[in-house]
Amino acid sequence: MKFSLALVTLVTVASGFPVIDTANEAVLRKAAKLASRTVEIIEAENAQNAKRPVKRASLPLPKDALGISRAETNCGPTLPCLAFDAEDQFVSVEGEYAYAAPSESQIRGPCPGLNAAANHGYLPRSGVASIEETVRGMSKLYNMGIDLAAALAAYAVVIDGDLLDGTWSIGGPQQSDPLVPILGNGQGLSYSHNSYEGDGSIGRLDAYTNKGDAHSLSIEKFEAVYAVGGNDTSEEGYDQRYTIDKFRSRFQDVQDHSIATNPYYFTGAFSTVVVVPAAYNFVINFMSNHSEEHPAGYLDGYNFKQFFGVTGSPGNFVWNKGQERVPKNWYRRPSSSPYNLADVFADVGIGYLAYPETLKIGGNTGTVNSFTGVDVSDITGGVLNAAKLFEGDNFACFAFNLLQQGIPHFLKGPLADINNATSFLAPFLSPLLGKLTCPELGNFDQSLFNDFPGHKYSPTGPATNY
């Protein structure tokens, strides 16, 4: 599980060793100075560990996951954001990157980060992208790690896109040639319920409670998450401040609300165990603005609203569908600190350790407030249980297993095609998977989820751009 890897890096920083080998002396010295408060806290917490030879799998679990969560900056769990470099971090919204609202035929969907990228030409404005276009665009606009962008895009191609031409849609179905067979559901992210999109999202409603629409922003939900950033009710919202810990706590409230209102609430898939909480974390790690005073980034209400396509002030917010924007004069994460696949697992893992109630695997059984959990040991052939889940690399191993085990369930088509899909994905996951020490988790029977009607609920959309 990547949390331990995160500790390794943080401990390494804390003990004064350079973490970026391409950086020069001056940058490293500045880096040490700017090392986030997280590092100091970890240093205090793990003074013992820092003295030991650092071996990932053998690090003990952090005693104070909540403290670590509260101290984490907006830059992520591993590399601190070293320094502010205006030239490196400035993001153009002019010329070829000028904002334009999507036309009728251009696709937008459930992800504000992708919608904003497409509205500014960092992704194809059509809303349909190849893996290479995704990697280039995500890197340029957000400094998303190449391994992460490639894995996210490859999974989208396989599970909801078009494996034959290697593209995927950020929203609804592509207007594809009907003669071209589509292995995945071909419905794009908007209708990827459980395979990619999941319940308990930060701003979208659960698919079942909104007639299959899990891609439109709910203003009520946005009001609630906006409020966790403070009490600035002005239209600008400059005094609001969002941190990853506030969002982790918010995730717990959203889950409770879903359990109390959605009879089909289901959380037994890679989408709900990893993608949904990761999306909360992406707001902090990718949408924050950076400055000399705040090299690790800060997120205020103004930037939050711009990226989410929201205008107005608390109580009167309006979602402007398809109008997600990259703010003018916005500075992304520094090139020296990409947010990688390992960071995703570290951040999601820290969240589950800090807020153990949020790790729920199971679902409602057809009525509200009927949440029933599935035993982790049943899904892992008895190898893992709730306690062992966060030892060593186990959490990331478990998550990858959930992902791979889900593929045959979500893909239609003969076994040979499914095997091809799995092998297509493998090289994109191996940069991280290859570094993990995983126990043999084996296959599990998807019928374990039979009691949960939400597991099979699979709305498909109209063939439109939304």
Ligand X SMILES: *[C@@H]1O[C@H](CO)[C@@H](O)[C@H](O)[C@H]1NC(C)=O
Q: Interface with ligand X by CB under 6 A: which residues?
A: 230-231, 289, 291, 302-303, 327, 329-331, 416-417, 420
Beta carbon nearer to ligand X, 291 or 443: 291
What are the residues binding ligand HEM (CB under 6 A)? 110-114, 134, 138, 142, 144, 149, 152-153, 156, 189, 196-198, 201-204, 217, 275-276, 279, 282-283, 286-287
Beta carbon nearer to ligand X, 43 or 85: 85
CB of 370 to ligand X, least distance (A): 32
User: At 128, is the secondary structure helix, strand, or coil?
Assistant: strand
Contacted by 247, from ligand HEM, ligand X, none: CB < 5 to 8 Å by type: none
User: How far apart are the C-alpha atoms of 403 and 350, rounded to whole Å?
Assistant: 20
Of 321, 298, 295, whose CA–CA distance to 310 is shortest?
321
CB of 219 to ligand HEM, least distance (A): 11
CB of 204 to ligand HEM, least distance (A): 4
Beta carbon nearer to ligand X, 125 or 246: 246
Beta carbon nearer to ligand HEM, 62 or 112: 112
Q: Which residue is nearest to ligand X (CB)?
A: 291
CB of 252 to ligand HEM, least distance (A): 15
Task: Report the sign of the C-alpha dihedral through residues 90, 94, 95, 98, in that order.
Answer: positive
Residue 196 near residue 273 (C-beta atoms within 8 A) = no
Residue type, 176: S
User: How far apart are the C-alpha atoms of 343 and 148, rounded to whole Å?
Assistant: 9
Q: End-to-end CA distance of the chain, in Å?
A: 36
Contacted by 142, from ligand HEM, ligand X, none: CB < 5 to 8 Å by type: ligand HEM
C-alpha 90: how far from chain center = 23
Beta carbon nearer to ligand HEM, 10 or 286: 286
Of 252, 286, 245, whose CA–CA distance to 116 is shortest?
286
Contacted by 277, from ligand HEM, ligand X, none: CB < 5 to 8 Å by type: none
User: How far apart are the C-alpha atoms of 321 and 26, rounded to whole Å?
Assistant: 46
**Per the structure block, which two tokens stand in for 218?**
């709910």
* CA distances for 333 relative to 303, 339, 392, angstroms: 14, 8, 29
CB of 205 to ligand HEM, least distance (A): 9
Beta carbon nearer to ligand X, 228 or 438: 228
